[in-house]
Amino acid sequence: MKWFKDDDFQCKCGCGFDITDELKDLCDKARDLAQIPFVVNSGARCLSHNRNEGSRDTSSHVKGIAVDIATSSSSARFKVIQAFMKLGVSRFGINFNKNFIHIDIDTSKPQELIFGY
């Protein structure tokens, strides 16, 4: 990876669970396109850590196919989403309270949407 360290996307509990290589590649390419730093708040989550975070067991993080990227401004949010959209990603969540974008490549869930939470 050009822009990230190996442990940037691993579960924060220390278990070593990681996101897929496909999503790592997308994050690297999106970072190139956006031309702004990406700070990863959350990547893969083992089921135990995911439950401790208060998230649902159906979270795409548990499958290793979701990442949350910190955004400090509306402009940054736009650049992150635009970059991933150029790469074919079509599932996003925006958390305005905690200032991050959720990106996932979970094809088992509805596509072409941006949800807020």
Q: Give dist(CA 18, CA 6) in Å, integer.
A: 9
The pLDDT of residue 117 is above 90:
no
User: What is the set of domains in the chain, with CATH numbers?
Assistant: 7-116 (3.30.1380.10)
pLDDT tens digits for range 46-94: 999 999 999 999 999 999 999 999 999 999 999 999 999 999 999 999 9
Question: Which residue type does 67 have?
Answer: V
Determine the Cα–Cα distance for residues 30 and 50; give it in Å rounded to an integer.
25
